């Protein structure tokens, strides 16, 4: 399928569905509630979930915040226990509120605190669960949000429905952290949908100089800007954290930017960063037909500066050295589909020096990069978006996953400066066994023998194939064929390789249970492919015409990122 069009349409439908749900649920009588109060001495609040039950609204009232979400509860038929992590509030009171109905009066008696999430299967050991890519324990995920490195940890927030893998509805900010970009530790939800609207996508940074004035102790404040959405309103709001990103408090002066509709409907997904040369903050905001740029001295009051048309959703803007030359830098701007421009930026205006360029030919969408990453690395995580017929009626306990973290660089090519994407080298932390071979024909017995010794279904494959008297070369991974035709210069009928004829094709592939990620020609092209091989027999082989030669091949068997998960 054509991923750009499908992703855009799916995201639009998701937003419209969310707004219709908000209008329905917020119409419930606010004075007809039953409640259950807990003094928190355990990790989770458990809620009995049933796919067949009608939706009702649950409110979770915590110190300094409130969460509102639809949920399908039942007291007699329970498909699984949904859970809400309340560990940040140990020793404090939290409340669960439901609409006052005869059924809910019985259900609320079942809602309880527990240190056990009480799942019928071990989380992350399920058959159809990604083992190399992050996915939520329960529920739905989409856009990465608020990627920021703070106090030795990578904070990865994401759009999340925490109770079930249902399309649309009240979006939250889920949260995981990692010290190595590979192993992720689940944290409580951070920013919530509530009676002021849904918490849509945004970003976060460290307020090193306390310009917003939120810092209380020595700990530097993390400030997040996100889109708060309700029918007819799409405004930019601020939240801040004084406990290293664990919990957030909404700024009482919200919104920091009201709905404008200057460039048409749709204003969302603010990406913020500090522009070091000017000493001010920049917000890049999707507005109507492209990306708008705003500036601020204190993160609270924002001034419009400029606009670049031609982008849709989830904007990014960052600077990178060209060919690792710190004396030669360029700025990159992109949108939700990853199409990008290279140019200059003076702190207020982005001036493109290229047309829109393409590296993404697959299901990656809404990618974001980390603020404050060590050594000025530009590390990106995207949403490996997956939609299928009947998804709205499906009974999935969890759905969607993130792309594997990648590092972005700029390189000079014969066609000009281009953005390269490659998996972070921390992937090697998962290596358990390595198979390698050099300078042999792809169809040789030596290659077949090496491939026959591979036992894992999770793999990192790195190789270069020299095309000799050949028009095609391919690799079959668990039944999925990746094939390049030298006569068409196209990989899998849609990825344009560029040069009229290439003598060597380089491939880097990450194979997981539900996806295949392909990096071509040292990262000039990339594709995240949704492919379920969980039921397939293991298989890896090379195909093609002519006498293609494997100049070098390494196949690394990978252990699960959840191997030590409790």
Q: Are 329 and 319 in contact (CB under 8 A)?
A: yes
HSE toward the beta carbon, residue 469, CA cutoff 13 A:
3
Cα 244 to the center of its chain, rounded Å = 20
Q: Are 282 and 272 in contact (CB under 8 A)?
A: yes
Q: Which helix (H) or strand (E) is 399 found in, with range?
A: strand 398-399
| DSSP notation for 467-535 | -SS-SEEEEEETTEEEEEETTTTEETTTEE--SSS-SEEEEEEEE-SSEEEEEEGGGTEEEEEE---TT
Q: What are the C-alpha distances in Å from 200 to residues 147, 230, 437?
A: 14, 10, 48
3-state secondary structure 90-102: CCCEEEEEEECCH
CA angle 511, 517, 523 (to 5 degrees): 130
Q: Are 71 and 172 in contact (CB under 8 A)?
A: no
Map residue 29 onto helix, strand or coil. coil
Cα–Cα distance, 314 to 528 (Å, whole number): 18
| DSSP notation for 267-297 | EEEEEEEEETTTTEEEEEEEETTEEEEEEES
Strands 495-496 and 504-511: what pairing?
unpaired
Tokens of 208: 């090193």
> What is the number of H-type helices and E-type strands within the chain?
3, 39
Q: Which helix (H) or strand (E) is 205 found in, with range?
A: strand 198-207
Q: Are 227 and 268 in contact (CB under 8 A)?
A: yes
**Exposure class string for 248-279: b at 16+ Cβ within 10 A, else e:** bbbbeebbbbeeeeebeebbbbbbbbbbeeee
- Edge-to-edge strands, sheet with 303-309: 267-275, 280-287, 290-296, 303-309
Tokens of 477: 């991974």
Cα 377 to the center of its chain, rounded Å = 18
Show the beta-strand stretches assigned E in 72-184.
Answer: 80-85, 93-99, 112-114, 139-150, 153-161, 172-178
Question: Catalytic one among 79, 85, 143, 180?
Answer: 143
For residue 143, indicate whether it is catalytic.
Answer: yes
Strands 350-352 and 340-345: what pairing?
antiparallel
Active site residues: 143
């Amino acid at each position: 399928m054509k991923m750009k069009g499908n992703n855009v349409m799916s995201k639009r439908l998701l937003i419209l569905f969310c707004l219709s749900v908000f209008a329905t649920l917020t119409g419930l009588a606010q004075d007809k509630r039953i409640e259950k109060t807990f003094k928190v001495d355990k990790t989770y609040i458990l809620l009995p979930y049933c796919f067949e039950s009608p939706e009702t609204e649950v409110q979770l009232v915590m110190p300094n915040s409130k969460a509102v979400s639809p949920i399908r509860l039942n007291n007699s038929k329970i498909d699984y226990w949904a859970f809400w992590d309340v560990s940040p509030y140990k020793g404090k009171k939290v409340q669960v509120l439901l609409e006052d109905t005869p059924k809910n009066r019985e259900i609320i008696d079942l809602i309880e605190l527990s240190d056990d999430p009480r799942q019928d299967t071990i989380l992350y050991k399920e058959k159809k669960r990604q083992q190399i890519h992050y996915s939520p324990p329960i529920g739905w995920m989409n856009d990465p949000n608020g990627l920021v490195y703070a106090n030795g940890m990578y904070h990865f927030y994401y759009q999340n429905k925490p109770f079930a893998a249902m399309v649309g509805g009240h979006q939250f900010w889920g949260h995981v952290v990692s010290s190595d970009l590979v192993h992720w530790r689940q944290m409580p939800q951070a920013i919530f949908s509530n009676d002021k609207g849904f918490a849509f996508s945004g970003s976060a940074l460290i307020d090193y100089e306390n310009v917003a004035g939120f810092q209380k102790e020595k700990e530097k404040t993390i400030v997040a800007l996100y889109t708060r959405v309700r029918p007819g309103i799409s405004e930019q709001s601020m939240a801040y954290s004084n406990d290293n990103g664990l919990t957030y408090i909404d700024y009482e002066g919200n919104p920091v930017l009201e709905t404008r509709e200057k460039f048409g409907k749709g204003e969302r997904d603010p990406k913020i960063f500090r522009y070091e040369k000017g000493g001010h903050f920049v917000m890049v905001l999707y507005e109507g037909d492209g990306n708008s740029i705003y500036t601020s001295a204190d993160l609270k009051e924002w001034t419009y500066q400029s606009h670049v048309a031609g982008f849709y959703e989830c904007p990014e803007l960052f600077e990178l050295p060209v060919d690792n030359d710190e004396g030669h830098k360029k700025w990159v701007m992109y949108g939700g589909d990853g199409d990008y421009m290279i140019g200059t930026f003076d702190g207020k205006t982005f001036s493109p020096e290229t047309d829109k360029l393409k590296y993404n030919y697959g299901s990656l969408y809404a990618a974001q990069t980390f603020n404050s990453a060590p050594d000025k690395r530009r590390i990106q995580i995207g949403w490996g978006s997956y939609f299928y017929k009947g998804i709205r009626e499906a009974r999935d306990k969890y759905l969607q996953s993130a792309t594997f973290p990648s590092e972005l660089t700029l390189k000079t090519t014969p066609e000009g400066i281009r953005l390269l994407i490659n998996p972070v080298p921390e992937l090697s932390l998962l290596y358990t066994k390595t198979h390698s071979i050099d300078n042999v024909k792809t169809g040789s017995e030596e290659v077949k023998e090496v491939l026959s010794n591979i036992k894992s279904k999770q793999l990192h494959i790195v190789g270069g194939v020299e095309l000799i008297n050949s028009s095609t070369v391919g690799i079959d991974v668990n039944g999925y064929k990746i094939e390049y035709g030298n006569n068409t210069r196209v990989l899998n009928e849609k990825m344009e390789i560029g040069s009229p004829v290439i003598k060597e094709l380089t491939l880097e592939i990450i194979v997981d249970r539900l996806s295949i990620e392909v990096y071509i020609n040292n990262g000039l092209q990339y594709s995240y492919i949704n492919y379920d091989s969980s039921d397939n027999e293991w298989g890896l082989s090379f195909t093609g015409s002519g006498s293609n030669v494997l100049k070098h091949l390494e196949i690394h068997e990978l252990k699960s990122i959840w191997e030590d998960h409790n």
